[in-house]
Structures are given as C-alpha cells and as structure tokens.
Structure 1
C-alpha cells in the first residue's frame, strides 16, 4: 500500500523533494485544463517527480458529454505524454468523471464516454483507470456497461479535518469499488508546509495495487448482407450484349431466372 498525492496548479509550487522525504510515494498530476491547454504546473510537476524519482501518473478532469469528445480529449492527453520524459511514469492515465455536465446523462451514455476514453488510451499504449466520487459512482455508474477494471474512488470520512500523510486512513471506511486507489481526504498535510497553494493542503490517496490493462475493442459494424441478383433469360436474337442488357429486368426469383454470366 502506497501513499500518493494528486496535484494540480491549485496546489501552487510543490517541493517534491520534501514531499518524498515526508513519505509521499507517488503522485497523480493534472495534465490538461478545460480549455485543453496543459495544466499550468504540469511541466514543472512531472519534471520534478522524475528528478526526485517519484512515480507519477496523470489525470484528466473530463467535461466530455459525448464519446467523440472523450476520444479527442484523450488523444490530446496521449499526444502530450508521447513527447515528454516518462522516466518515472508508472501510474497511467486516469479519467476523472465527476462533473455536473455528465450527471445529467443516463448511465448508458456515461458508460459510452468512459469506454471511448479507455479505448483511445489503451490503443495508444497507456494504462487506463477511472476516478470519481463514491456518491457519483453509486448514482451514475453501471459497472456492467463500463469495461474498465481500475477504479480510484474518493470518499472523505473525516469531514474536513486535517490528516497527516503519516496517518493511516480507517480501512473500514474504504469504498468497496476502490480496487486500485482510495482518495480519503482533501485536507492532507505534511509535517511542514511544502506548497504555495491550497493553504498547504493536499488530496491524499492510498494505492492498493498496480493498475491492470483490459483492452476495449472497437465496436465493429456487422457487414451488410449480400444478395444475389438473378436476371431473366434473354430470348432475343441480337448478338449485342448492350441490346441484351437493355431487354433484361431484375428478377430475384431463382425459378424464373439465372445468374448473368459475362
């Protein structure tokens, strides 16, 4: 079981060296914003994690309301990852679905969005997981429709009370669906303040096992059924194939016609 933080520009400048010293064993970094530009601290954060040998992954807070939008957003995420130093990239790509824009959709549509995102990410060669809150999961996710096996679930059982990173969360409060990771507080603290944003607070998580890969195959269209067309026998006297074809009318009955051999 490892202790991780998830971080965005909201956390400001993070001293990753101190984070590691105080027990941080990994990080999930916000990679893009709503406007699809990189999170303002992403470049700085992933480079510092590599420098300090901290395992990291990325998450995209999604606003997608269609499978097409989810695909295009995750293609962008993968484009960014393809071009950067991934020396300590270990925790894959997480699809954060919790916004109110998706809450208005039915479970089938939400499943289509998640499956589309997974299809892109795994096709590009990266591990894929889903992050959401426990109540959102219970209300909007149908696991029979969603293909993903990796779930990172948020449940804050300690209200807004601050929790030190060294303090183990109460495992009896862990959501059953959180098979990979559990985000147990948004008021996590280190022994000393190590960041310039969010009043020094961090989201704290425990990771129970490594994410696994499960390929989502593209939906294949069923080939259209072919139909043999039969033509009536030509009974004219002309030797011209043009004249023969002009005189023919399509007849699908095998009893009155035969295949036209040219």
Structure 2
C-alpha cells in the first residue's frame, strides 16, 4: 500500500476514553476532521458523542461517526442501532465500521459480518462507508469487502520510533483511504 505524504489530510478518531478535548487546539494543530465513536454492538451509546460532535463542528472540523462492531451480533441490528442513535446529526465524512475483534469467530464469519454491515448501511443511507481495522486484522477480509475504502490502524512503537509512513502490504487492498 502507498506511503503517507505531506498532502494527506489529518483526521483523528475519538471516543469516551479521551475525556475532555480542546477542539480549538486540535483544529490549530492542523487536524481537518474527526471520527467520533457513536455506538458499539446493539446497546452501547457513547455519552460523549454529541458533545464531541458539537465542539468539533464549532471548531470548524469535518465530522463523521464510527460504530465499534461485535461480529457475533446480527450486522443488520448493529446498523439499525447506529442509524437510530445518529438521528439528525449532519455528517461530513462517510459512516465507519470499526471491526477489529474476532469474538472467537472464524475469518469467514467476520468477513460476512463486515460485508453485510457495509452493504446494509450503504443501502439505507446512500453513503459508501469506510472500514476501520488493524493491520494485523486485515487478513480476515476478502476482496468483496475491499470494494470499500480502508482506514488501517497499525499501532506499534515502530510507527513512532522509525516514523513509519506505510501500514505495510495487503493482498486484499492495494491502497488505504486513511492510515
């Protein structure tokens, strides 16, 4: 996959784990957008999502939301829960599926969950979603899922020590949308 370059737009992801955020400072640091955790599974709604949304928008950032998936659930129920909680908040970035845990399921089940989630939300909203997953988890997906843009996470001390500019290679995706 391609390496980072100076033209890449800086977008962050945040959740209730981040606590209070100085959104003005974030915007001044060159960040152009934020993905905010909205939901998880079929019952968790982030209590900080709406506040993060308002403050990020007021700081001039583009905003999108992500859903942390539980692949052992029904993907349709997870999409419907996400959309129900999204309500009328205006998004500037595509909806995002965060799928990075196998919950003890085989690759075929994880892939099927991801594909069904992505297809269903695209059908319901008309917006092509993006998949967020870790570099080491990408092998759980097939080329059918690769029709969706990839946001790849690669958390490693190498990223910081050696200034890693590429998430590595993939036999499924030939490029990333976000890294």
Unaligned segments of structure 2, at least 5 residues: 1-7
Matched residues in 2 for 1:114 and 1:34: separation?
Answer: 13
Secondary structure at 1:13 match in 2: coil
Partner in structure 2 of residue 141 of structure 1: 141
1:94 to 75, 90, 96: 96
Written as runs of structure 1 = structure 2, the 5 A alignment for 1:156-195 is 156-159=155-158, 161=160, 169-171=163-165, 173-176=166-169, 177=173, 178-182=175-179
Q: 1:174 to 1:147 in 2, by over 3 A?
A: closer
**1:122 maps onto 2:115 in alignment:** no
Q: 1:63 to 1:49 in 2, by over 3 A?
A: same
Secondary structure at 1:181 match in 2: coil
Partner in structure 1 of residue 24 of structure 2: 17
Q: 1:35 to 1:119 in 2, by over 3 A?
A: closer
Q: 1:148 to 1:72 in 2, by over 3 A?
A: farther
- Give the TM-score, by structure 2 length: 0.82
Partner in structure 2 of residue 57 of structure 1: 64
CA deviation string 1:81-113 (max 9, x = no partner): 2322x1xx2221111111140xx3233222221
Q: 1:30 to 1:106 in 2, by over 3 A?
A: same
Partner in structure 1 of residue 111 of structure 2: 111
Aligned length: 167
Unaligned segments of structure 1, at least 5 residues: 164-168, 183-262
Matched residues in 2 for 1:146 and 1:30: separation?
Answer: 22
Structure whose CA Rg is larger: 1
Q: In 1, are the aligned partners of 2:131 and 2:150 still within 8 Å (CA)?
A: yes
Matched residues in 1 for 2:94 and 2:164: separation?
Answer: 26
Matched residues in 2 for 1:131 and 1:76: separation?
Answer: 18
Alignment RMSD, CA only?
2.3
- Give the TM-score, by structure 1 length: 0.58
